[in-house]
Structure 1
Amino acid sequence: MTRPAVRMCARCHRTTDDPVLVHEVHAATGPGFNVYACQDCADHYPPLTDVYELLDTTPRRSRLTLRVYKVNAEGAVTEHGSEVEVLAGGRTDPVPRTSAYPPCGCPRCRTQ
């Protein structure tokens, strides 16, 4: 003999013997949990979405823009300097294995 599933409705807070799964809560640091509703309240929730449909199929490149400028004592910009845009996510050469960890990749050390 199997025991019926008894859950509390997330909307009306009554217990139900016939719960409907209305939401899945995912957690990054541990197990997630499911949210249930009774048959009457289940229509008030949107249909479940597949989490894989939310992922963008085309990978995007990360972008970081560094701006250098000078400010005065009051915090106003007095001089605009250079701007460097760093793109990540593309194909890069692997870092060479050396005895130094991590290997230095600054422009000064790469030219030596």
Structure 2
Amino acid sequence: MTRPAVRMCARCQRTTDEPVLVHEVHAATGPGFNVYACPDCVEHYPPLTNALELLDTARRRSRLTLHVLKVNAEGTVTEDRGEVEILAGGRTDPVPFTSAYPPCNCPRCKTPR
């Protein structure tokens, strides 16, 4: 004969012989634990998510927005060249050499393409 599982409800703190798993607590340095609720309190918890499903979702690409200004020697803005958005996490085309984005004198910009 098997003994029924008896757990304490995390919401109302009453023991129940019909526990429902509502949350899994994962620990980086040791075993985690499970959180249970009684059938009356289970509606107050969000649906249980699988941690492995979270890893499979498409990663969001990092985004960096730069506002490009031309400044004279005194620090006064002489020209507003707008915004440049850079997406990370994948191959991107190099910034075009136009009047809006002139190359600087760094080794990266001096290399022929």
TM-score with structure 2 length normalisation? 0.49
Larger CA Rg, structure 1 vs 2: 2
TM-score with structure 1 length normalisation? 0.49
